């Protein structure tokens, strides 16, 4: 007996990026880029705070909780962006890298 699987593309994605009109795709990608920048700044500032807690006197439970929270936040938001397609995911990932560059520049300027 042969089974035939038919996939309905419209029902496959939760947030269908392909159904947007052409004029709305560019602002949507800009929102993903801005969200990625904010996520990157938040993630890498949290990483910097975490490193200072590890090298200084800090509670281990707080430090580990922040590590886990950073990974869950980054992974969860990137996974949500991936539900919309490859281009929104790539824009958000690019935003995370831009946020990293912002934090690194600010960290270098603050160092004596």
pLDDT tens, residue by residue, 45-102: 999 988 888 888 778 888 889 899 999 999 999 999 999 888 999 999 999 999 999 9
* Structural domain span for residue 72: 33-110
The reply to whether 65 falls in a domain is yes
Round to whole Å and give the CA distance between 44 and 37. 11
Residue 21 in domain: no
Residue 18, in any domain of the structure: no
Dihedral, 21, 93, 111, 54 alpha carbons, nearest 10: 130
Torsion over CA: 28, 30, 33, 34 (sign) = negative
pLDDT per position as a tens digit, 24-37: 778 888 999 999 99
The two tokens of residue 105 are: 């520049």
Number of domains in the chain: 1
**CB within 8 Å of 97: residues ≥ 6 apart:** 40
């Amino acid at each position: 007996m042969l089974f035939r699987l038919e996939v309905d593309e419209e029902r496959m994605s939760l947030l269908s990026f392909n159904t947007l009109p052409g004029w709305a795709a560019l602002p949507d990608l800009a929102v993903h880029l801005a969200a990625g920048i904010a996520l990157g700044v938040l993630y890498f500032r949290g990483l910097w705070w975490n490193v200072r807690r590890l090298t200084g006197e800090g509670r281990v439970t707080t430090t580990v909780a922040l590590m886990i929270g950073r990974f869950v936040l980054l992974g969860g938001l990137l996974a949500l962006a991936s539900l919309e397609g490859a281009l929104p995911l790539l824009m958000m990932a690019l935003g995370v890298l831009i946020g990293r560059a912002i934090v690194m520049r600010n960290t270098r300027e603050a160092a004596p």
